[in-house]
Structure 1
Amino acid sequence: MHHLRRPEGRIAYDLYGNDTDGTLVICVPGMFDHRASFRLVGRELAAAGHRVAVMDLRGHGDSDTTFTSYDSRSTSTDVLALAEELGAERVVMAGNSMGAAAVTIAALERPDLVSGIALLGPFLRPSPPGPVARTLYRTLLMRPWAARALTFVYDRLHAGRTPEGHEEQKERIRRMTRTADRRRAITKTLQAPNETIDRAEDLAAEAVVIMGELDPDWKDPRSEAEWVASVVDGRAVMVPECGHYAQSQRPDVVSSVLLDLVERVNADA
């Protein structure tokens, strides 16, 4: 594990294939997830000769809980800082859920740096939580049931295939909710006023959208994937036997798509 120092705290990240000189791929999970959800993809891309950095969100995993802001735009600054810390001149980014919004913002802000983005189960138009939802979030993350409740929700979002090492990953999620400071950080992330990204005409990065056919976050996952693809002028890949976490449920598909994306952006360089 490594740490990226930021003005208000540190961001935890893992490196795969750091002894290679291939393309840098930065992976960003979504809220109440742990960076290890990209563990299988990281290993696969490293085996193919690329460098992979997989980070935690602010207040999640092993990142610090000392930040003021926990929204997707703030996360985008962490992603860009990590790319610069690792000395990348051009980088491909993969983001899941809220992380997809963060890498999209990063690509819009730094077209000179971000050459490709993969958006997994992307939330580009989040619905602001109403009073009932806000109360539910607070209740969900209260002791003594916070760890059990959040892990139950996390498990249910894995509709379809059960990932390799899923029990170990759920234990990481349980550990993440056992301290008051992390519960507060996760609550702030859930309640953050994230912006809607429905226009991206200035996006220069090659884009691909990866959506689980069984993703329970949408009534019609294919329709949402096609809408996001239209915003980022990319293509949509629907993944069978998969819910919200394609990177862990179908790492075979995600790795293949990412390797293709890397090949495309390098061909255009």
Structure 2
Amino acid sequence: MTEFLKIDGGEIAYDVTGEGPLVVMVPGMGITRNTYRFLAPALAAAGYRVATMDLRGHGESSLGWDSYPRTDTADDIVALIEHLGGPAVVVGHSFAGGSATIAAARRPELVTAIVEIGPFTRAQKPDLGGLLRNAHHRRGMTRLMSAGLLRSVGLWKSYLDYAYPGVKPADWAGYLAALEKDLRRPGRMAVVSTMGFAAPTDAGAHLGGIRCPALVVMGTRDPDWADPRAEADGIVAGMPAGLGKVVMIEGAGHYPHAQYPDEVAAAMLAFLGERARG
């Protein structure tokens, strides 16, 4: 059941399932909290209370916010944790991976661990060599940038098709249709564009300030990077020594939690178990 948290400037939509330690899951831009439709039940079944939230201007959250950077999303995450009675593990995908980093660094008493899935957490340097060498990366980035520049739902759908290489979820057609309906509402693609061109410098500046364990989950075929493993390793290298760990999901693109939810759930539960024992 959808609930709403009122914050200065608007409302954040969220839902909660399960009982146990709190896990707050945040989607990337251009999608809704339904992206965790496979992963959230698996964590709830394993004994966690799982909250999934929509980003500002996405899904059932309101439009009309003054700004949409990762730092504001981090503030929304913190507000939800406080509202639900944290602390919490924060799971952030793509854009929200950077927000998870900021929340952990700024409010360490509320964030016990972070899981970043396909995260944009570091400022990206132009990689012309990577674009030339890696056709999968080149085509994916062309679709992604074009969707943002033109605020085109059709181009965003084209990017999503490319960002799910190989296997797609069994409910793919229905999922995509519902997402298209949501994004065609007035103002939604403008928010996606704004977020898409927000450089993750605010998140990168906080990498060295986290104090909790961190797991970076990356698909081996993620088209957003010429070398997904190198990007994941670079994120961990920016964290204090010994806190970060990388898990690569073979064959997955930018949405490993939806393509291979069993593998991602297993990696997350192992990580959380290690944290509890440690």
- Contact in 2 for aligned 1:128/1:193 (Cα 8 Å): no
3-state secondary structure, aligned to 1:215: coil
Structure-2 separation of matches of 1:257 and 1:266:
14
| Shift, 1:199, TM fit | 5.9
Structure-1 separation of matches of 2:148 and 2:168:
28
Structure-2 separation of matches of 1:136 and 1:216:
15
Of 114-123 and 231-240, more deviation after overlay is shown by 231-240
Pair 1:122–1:135, CA change in 2 (3 A): closer
Find the counterpart in structure 1 of residue 156 from structure 2.
Answer: 150
Find the counterpart in structure 2 of residue 14 from structure 1.
Answer: 15
3-state secondary structure, aligned to 2:225: coil
Of 251-260 and 56-65, more deviation after overlay is shown by 251-260
Find the counterpart in structure 1 of residue 204 from structure 2.
Answer: 197
For residue 176 of structure 1, the aligned residue among 182, 188, 210 is 182
Find the counterpart in structure 1 of residue 230 from structure 2.
Answer: 223
| Shift, 1:127, TM fit | 3.7
- Contact in 1 for aligned 2:217/2:247 (Cα 8 Å): yes
Find the counterpart in structure 2 of residue 185 from structure 1.
Answer: 191
Partner AA of 2:42 in structure 1: E
Pair 1:98–1:139, CA change in 2 (3 A): closer
- Contact in 1 for aligned 2:114/2:213 (Cα 8 Å): yes
Map 1:14-163; keep pairs closer than 5 Å: 14-17=15-18, 20=19, 22-88=20-86, 90-127=87-124, 136-137=146-147, 139-141=149-151, 146-163=152-169
Pair 1:80–1:140, CA change in 2 (3 A): same
Q: What percentage of aligned pairs have identical amino acids?
A: 34
Q: Cα RMSD between the aligned structures? A: 2.2
3-state secondary structure, aligned to 1:201: helix
Count matched residues.
258
Gaps of 5+ in 2: 127-141
Partner AA of 1:219 in structure 2: A
TM-score with structure 2 setting the length? 0.86
Structure-1 separation of matches of 2:260 and 2:17:
19
Partner AA of 2:16 in structure 1: L
| Shift, 1:139, TM fit | 5.0
| Shift, 1:255, TM fit | 1.0
| Shift, 1:239, TM fit | 0.4
- Contact in 2 for aligned 1:147/1:173 (Cα 8 Å): no
Partner AA of 2:31 in structure 1: D
Gaps of 5+ in 1: none
Pair 1:198–1:213, CA change in 2 (3 A): farther
| Shift, 1:256, TM fit | 1.3
| Shift, 1:202, TM fit | 2.8
3-state secondary structure, aligned to 1:187: helix
